[in-house]
Structure 1
Amino acid sequence: MPARLSPVTSILSICALALGLAFAPVPAAAATMGDDGLHKQDWFSLTFRDIAEDIEAANAAGKRLALVFEQRGCIYCRKMHEVLLADPEVADYIKANFMVVQYNMFGDEEVTDLDGETLTEKSAVRKWGYVFTPTVVFLPDTVPTGKSVAQAAVATMPGSFGKGTFLDMFRWVREKGYETDEHFQKYHARMIEQRRKASAKTN
């Protein structure tokens, strides 16, 4: 016959369960599908796609500007939204440190490049030479003079990677690793080793 729990033990067990639920990781909000066939995060920024203005807006908020290029039916874009951006650690870091603006690789919305040229999304993508989706482009924290987005970008991440690589790229940009002698690959390797050591200590 199973042992009966005392009223006090039962109350303590319920409290422990409630606390566990309260402090359990909360999944990031699920992406929705837009009319353009692209997955949407509710924390993506909607702007007039004037890149210089967006850099200034991000800077005023204490963040960096990242542009993400996607296309309808892209399975790797779906993975980015449903796996990477659904991870609270990834989503929370990006939301806290970056202003993200989504671009449709074949879209017709008007874009104003950093050099002042006005063109459509799809024309801008051709001008900048981006061919993969998703592609994440990181801009400097100040508006450059006479450069296009492709020329001004401090880093570009083509394709969808694993969580560690994806998040480390955002961290490397935020920490301005591109201004140091530590190439991203070396930074990423160092972060992998740090995580390995931290995991070994807790096991």
Structure 2
Amino acid sequence: MKYILPITLALLAVSAYAAEPAAAPTQLEAGLVNPGAIDKPAWFKESFLDLRDDIKEASAANKRLVLYFYQDGCPYCAKLIQDNFGKQSITDKTQKNFDVIAINMWGDRSVTAVDGKETTEKVFATDLKVQYTPTMLFLDETGTVVLRVNGYYAPEKFELALDFVSGKHEKNGSFKEYYSKLKAEGKAVNADKTYTLPNALPAPLRLQDARKDSKRPLLVVFAQQECDTCDELYNDILKRKEVAYSLSNLDLAQANPDDTANIQTPDGKEMTVAEWAKALEIKYSPSLVFFDTAGKEVFRTEAYFKAFHTHGALDYVTSSAYTWMPEFQRYLQHRREALAAHGFPADLME
């Protein structure tokens, strides 16, 4: 399913947690270890944030529009700017094919949506369900989001995302299908490794039947066999003691999004793993998808994360914080401040 910038943008009331912008000075005073704010590249477009005009101007220049959601103190935003846009090939390709507009996830600048309705950056981000930074929305000429990148992609995969959108390959299928085709042709190469999730439910997955008496949430790790970003998750992060404690509060399952084996989904549907992954719009390995006891998806991560954010995602679900604090970033901010107060400053990129 494609995400579409709202034709009628509802100005929903923001929760109390989203009412205040993230306070970088408080984080620094608490002794947190993160890279702080980082300047965006000078070639990013300076916009009045009237998206109607921005789309027209991009189309007139034979480009497409990218909305880049960021926040100060975001280590993955710094990694995007330094590692990805630090590569000349990526910078050249982006400048040639896209107008990039930076939007502060917690900002108060006025944004005019495609339908002409005015809102603020932070409400706009909330309405578009932006949970991570960086989040990048790639728009076509009508304002339809043809690719959504939630979180950080490594340079090689990020460059393939640029190729996918600039080449208008969304007309022929999803980014996952495009990426899989390139892998099959040897144009997208990862380390040839397989991974095992300890204490996971056995294959073939019968996720509703296996969990009929369980009161725990379910975590399904979608990971391809050839997956360089999976190596760190499986062989480092998931093996850490504090992360293992959090995993013990979940039912666990593992699925290869390319697998054609028949399974039963958490809500009782019968299909192949590949069909389920397509229905869930899984486009990144590894993706961590969380389900409640009724088999309904409640949260996911689908980009590169280090231990702090991965551990935070596990606790966000097992504590049910997602039910009363819908902004994951607010949850992480409180977590960082609480840890620092107890004498454990968080290294966000450890």
TM-score of the two chains, using structure 2 as the length reference: 0.42
Aligned-residue CA RMSD (Å)? 1.6
Of 171, 191, 196, the match for 1:179: 171
Of 162, 165, 171, the match for 1:170: 162
Deviation at 1:168, TM superposition (A): 0.7
The 10-residue stretch of structure 1 (170-179 or 104-113) with the greater mean CA deviation from structure 2: 170-179
Instruction: Give yes or no for the alignment of 1:126 onto 2:126.
Output: yes
Gaps of 5+ in 2: 1-35, 190-350
Residue aligning to 1:194: 187
Could you tell me whether the CA contact under 8 Å between 1:37 and 1:73 is conserved in 2?
Answer: yes
| CA–CA distance in structure 1, aligned partners of residues 108 and 148 of structure 2 | 23
| CA–CA distance in structure 2, aligned partners of residues 92 and 190 of structure 1 | 25
Residue aligning to 2:294: none
Q: What code does the residue aligned with 2:146 have?
A: V
| CA–CA distance in structure 1, aligned partners of residues 115 and 127 of structure 2 | 12
Deviation at 1:191, TM superposition (A): 3.1
| CA–CA distance in structure 2, aligned partners of residues 107 and 40 of structure 1 | 15
Residue aligning to 2:112: 112
- Partner SS for 1:83: helix
Deviations 1:75-99 (A, max 9, x none): 0000000100100111110011100
Residue aligning to 1:155: 147
- Partner SS for 1:186: helix
| CA–CA distance in structure 2, aligned partners of residues 131 and 45 of structure 1 | 23
| Pair member with larger Rg | 1
Deviations 1:37-87 (A, max 9, x none): 343101100011011110000011111100100001000000000100100
| CA–CA distance in structure 2, aligned partners of residues 85 and 126 of structure 1 | 26
Q: What code does the residue aligned with 1:194 have?
A: K
Deviation at 1:180, TM superposition (A): 0.9
Residue aligning to 1:103: 103
Deviations 1:1-26 (A, max 9, x none): xxxxxxxxxxxxxxxxxxxxxxxxxx
Deviations 1:142-198 (A, max 9, x none): 35xxxxxxxx311110111111211111110111111113x21232233341266xx
Residue aligning to 1:83: 83
| CA–CA distance in structure 2, aligned partners of residues 170 and 115 of structure 1 | 26
| CA–CA distance in structure 2, aligned partners of residues 70 and 194 of structure 1 | 30
| CA–CA distance in structure 2, aligned partners of residues 107 and 37 of structure 1 | 14
Q: What code does the residue aligned with 2:187 have?
A: Q
- Partner SS for 1:52: helix
Could you tell me whether the CA contact under 8 Å between 2:55 and 2:65 is conserved in 1?
Answer: yes
Query: What pairs up with 1:1-150 in 2 under 5 angstroms?
Result: 37-142=37-142
Q: What code does the residue aligned with 1:167 have?
A: E
Could you tell me whether the CA contact under 8 Å between 2:90 and 2:159 is conserved in 1?
Answer: yes
Could you tell me whether the CA contact under 8 Å between 1:56 and 1:142 is conserved in 2?
Answer: no
Deviations 1:111-163 (A, max 9, x none): 001122101100111111111100000111235xxxxxxxx311110111111
Could you tell me whether the CA contact under 8 Å between 2:147 and 2:175 is conserved in 1?
Answer: no
- Partner SS for 2:62: coil
- Partner SS for 2:83: helix
Could you tell me whether the CA contact under 8 Å between 1:111 and 1:124 is conserved in 2?
Answer: yes
Residue aligning to 1:24: none
- Partner SS for 1:156: strand
